[in-house]
């Protein structure tokens, strides 16, 4: 069923006084509590690109050591573009979502071929790089080139929604386009870098999805979601929000699939296994199946064929039906 959303013109706008208060509180908090992340110590657009791709669906703690290792192995965009794809994938492991490594190298090769090795500095040009979306384009323009642009990742989306719109459960009230419009409207003049980083830190450290620590929030007094929680409980907190979320998920029939039964899990196992083989060695699907899934039977062959075919389509493996599969 299509969900109708309010247009950006009908979304309640904070007053100038409210917005000034939020800007002051959040930027003051960030000045003292910001995370000391290595990609914040550089303006190198290539290093920031690497960090942004790695941070997609991977926790900061897991990214930091791999970020240093990857840049040590491929210190420039030209080095990454010229490297064998198998070496890029091997260096990427075990971050997961290995397709990101292939996509990152494809971006590097496009930068070398189309932009003389210089990563573009505008959102418009960055979006011409295949595999870069609006968030990553905005992040590079803002964090590397200090452009005054808004950008929206998962943390920023959640924080902006809770701050200015209200609770996002059972479903968000803003579409992607409306959220970006809101982000642009509340951007503090001349402070885009600190503001975007502050929103991400607040979402990662305090205003988390499952366990928000409302009692520690520096902008709680100005938060629309906190006001909603206050109307439903004398003691508004993350516990109340978790309860509301569970009720919404139960009503929707949502059930999370165990990770070890997911295609993503088995995709990772295939790539990890192939990395242990000598170069150029292939495995047939009959050999591969039992080595990645202990309960594998012949009935699983169509599933394995689909899995390997998708990996090949993503550039993560070289699959020949008659010869088997290996790393590219």
Identify the pLDDT of residue 278. Answer: 83
pLDDT of the residue at 171: 67
Domain 44-143 and domain 259-326 have a common topology: no
Task: Read off the tokens for 208.
Answer: 């988390």
- For residue range 15-43, list pLDDT tens digits in order: 888 899 999 999 999 999 999 999 999 99
Q: What mean pLDDT comes out for the span 290-319?
A: 83
Domain topology for 16-34+151-252: Endonuclease Iii, domain 2 (1.10.1670)
Mean predicted confidence (pLDDT) in 79-106? 93
Model confidence band, residue 256 (pLDDT cutoffs 50, 70, 90): low
Integer Cα distance of 239 and 237 in angstroms: 5
- Residues in contact with 199: Cβ distance below 8 Å, sequence separation at least 6, in sequence order: 26, 155, 156, 159, 160
Residue 57 to residue 59: CA distance in whole angstroms: 7
Supply φ then ψ for residue 279, to 5 degrees: -55, 140
pLDDT surpasses 90 at 248: no
Residue 243's pLDDT band (cuts 50, 70, 90): low
Task: Output the average pLDDT for the chain.
Answer: 86
- Find the DSSP H helices in the chain: 16-33, 45-55, 60-73, 77-82, 85-92, 99-115, 123-126, 134-143, 154-160, 176-185, 192-205, 224-232, 238-252, 263-275, 285-292, 301-313
| Omega cis (within 30) before 94 | yes
Q: What is the mean pLDDT of residues 126-131?
A: 95
Q: Is-catalytic flag, 124?
A: no
Give 165's contacts (C-beta < 8 A, 6+ positions apart): 11, 12, 173, 174, 182, 224, 225
Q: Give me the DSSP letters along 85-125.
A: HHHHHHHHTTSS-THHHHHHHHHHHHHHHHHTT----SHHH
How much is the pLDDT for 267? 85
Which one is predicted more confidently, 297 or 12? Answer: 297
Rounded to an integer, what distance in angstroms lies between the CA atom of residue 114 and that of residue 123? 16
Give the span between the Cα atoms of 94 and 328, in whole angstroms. 17
Q: What is the mean pLDDT of residues 61-90?
A: 96
6 pLDDT band, cuts 50/70/90, is: very low
| Buried-state track 26-57, b at ≥16 Cβ within 10 A, e below 16 | bbebbeeeeeebebeeeebbbbbbbbbbbbbe
Phi, psi angle pair for 215, to nearest 5°: -70, -20
Position 288 pLDDT exceeds 80: yes
Nearest to 11 by CA among 171, 209, 166, 169: 166
Topology (CATH level 3) of domain 259-326:
Arc Repressor Mutant, subunit A (1.10.10)
User: Within 13 Å and on the Cβ side, how many CA atoms surround 194?
Assistant: 15
Q: In this predicted structure, what is the pLDDT of residue 156?
A: 95
- How does residue 237 score in pLDDT terms, banded at 50, 70 and 90? low
Q: What top-level class would CATH report for the domain 44-143?
A: mainly alpha
The size of the chain, in residues, is: 328
The pLDDT of 202-228, averaged and rounded, is: 90
pTM recorded for the entire structure = 0.74
* Among 120, 117, 118, CA closest to 132: 120
Q: Is the pLDDT of residue 2 over 70?
A: no
Nearest to 132, CA basis, from 69, 49, 39, 62 = 49
Is the confidence at residue 247, as pLDDT, over 70? no
Strand partners, 197: none
| Helices 192-205 and 16-33, packing angle to 10 deg | 70
Q: Which of 17, 28, 33, 52 is catalytic?
A: 52
The domain locations on the chain are 16-34+151-252, 44-143, 259-326
Task: Give the pLDDT of residue 240.
Answer: 55
> What are the pLDDT digits (tens) for 141-181?
999 999 999 999 999 999 999 999 988 876 667 888 999 99
State the Cα torsion 83-122-165-229 to the nearest 10°.
40
pLDDT value of position 257: 60
Which segment of 45-59, 225-239, 266-280 scores lowest on mean pLDDT? 225-239
Which of 93-107, 149-163, 289-303 is predicted least confidently? 289-303
Confidence at 9, pLDDT banded by 50, 70, 90:
very low
């Amino acid at each position: 069923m299509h969900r109708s959303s309010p247009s950006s013109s009908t979304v309640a706008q904070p007053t100038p006084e409210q917005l000034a208060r939020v800007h002051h509180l959040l930027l003051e908090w960030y000045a003292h509590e910001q995370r000391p992340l290595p990609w914040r110590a550089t303006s190198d657009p290539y290093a920031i690109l690497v960090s942004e791709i790695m941070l997609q669906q991977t926790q900061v703690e897991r990214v930091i050591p791999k970020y240093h290792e990857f840049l040590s192995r491929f210190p420039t965009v030209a080095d990454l573009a010229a490297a064998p794809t198998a070496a890029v994938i091997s260096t990427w492991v075990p971050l997961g979502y290995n397709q990101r490594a292939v996509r990152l190298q494809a971006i590097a090769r496009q930068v070398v071929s189309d932009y003389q090795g210089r990563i573009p500095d505008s959102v418009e040009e960055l979006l011409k790089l295949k595999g870069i979306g609006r968030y990553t384009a905005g992040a590079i323009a803002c964090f590397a080139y200090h452009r005054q642009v808004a950008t929206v990742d998962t943390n920023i989306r959640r924080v902006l929604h809770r701050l200015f719109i209200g609770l996002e459960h059972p479903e968000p009230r803003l579409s992607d386009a409306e959220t970006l419009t809101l982000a642009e409207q509340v951007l503090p003049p001349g402070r885009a870098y600190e503001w975007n980083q502050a929103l991400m830190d607040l979402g990662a450290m305090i205003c988390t999805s499952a366990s928000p620590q409302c009692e520690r929030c520096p902008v709680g007094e100005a938060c629309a979601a906190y006001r909603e929680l206050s109307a439903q409980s004398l003691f508004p907190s993350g516990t109340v929000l978790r309860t509301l979320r569970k009720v919404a998920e139960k009503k929707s029939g949502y059930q999370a699939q165990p990770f070890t039964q997911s295609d993503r899990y088995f995709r990772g196992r295939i790539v990890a296994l192939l990395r242990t083989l000598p170069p150029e060695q292939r495995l047939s699907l009959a050999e591969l199946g039992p080595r990645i899934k202990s309960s594998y039977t012949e009935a699983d062959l169509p599933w394995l064929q689909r899995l390997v075919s998708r990996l090949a389509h993503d550039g993560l493996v070289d699959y020949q039906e008659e010869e088997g599969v290996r790393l590219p």
